[in-house]
Amino acid sequence: MSEIILFLIPIVGTAIAVTCDLRSREIPDWMPIVIVLLIPLQFVVSDHSIAWWQHVAGAVVALTIGLIVGYGDRFGGGDIKLFAALGGWFGLFAVVPLALWISIAGLPLAFWAAARKQRDFAYAPAIFAGVCVHAFVPDLLGRVAF
């Protein structure tokens, strides 16, 4: 039961972020904070195979990627903080696959926004889709690549 709750935390968290982003075009600051604060729960509840430093490094790498992408005003502050929290949740070696799935999911949103002549758009749905792909099939990149 506790393993299921751990599995659902990033999914439910990003689903809430989608709702907020679509309504107000902002992801509340408390959302990534809650995800980060729940990371230690993984060590207590499950037989965790990822070292604590991989969570820290994942958050730092995800934050760095988010800041680079966000420099052009295409990835908002809430998206950056949420991605950093998810990097911390999933760990260092999940950041690149997670970023890839989020980018792939964001492509149709970008085309849709461009067709409607919108300068920006809610990116949380792409983050949610990327999290779902990574959560349900964490080794999909390896399956596709080889």
Among 116, 136, 133, 117, residue whose Cα is nearest residue 125: 133
Rounded Cα–Cα distance for residues 61 and 92 (Å): 7
What's the whole-model pTM score? 0.89
Residues in the chain with pLDDT values less than 70? 1-2, 72-74, 145-146
Domains within the chain, CATH numbers bracketed: 2-145 (1.20.120)
In sequence order, what are the residues at sequence separation of 6 or more whose Cβ sits closer than 8 angstroms to the Cβ of residue 95? 58, 61, 62, 65, 87
Candidates 37, 99, 91, 102; CA nearest to 60 is: 91
Query: ∠ CA(98), CA(89), CA(74), 5° rounding?
Result: 45
Digit-coded pLDDT (tens) for 29-49: 999 999 999 999 888 877 777
pLDDT of residue 44: 81
Distance of CA 102 to the CA centre of its chain: 7
pLDDT of residue 145: 66
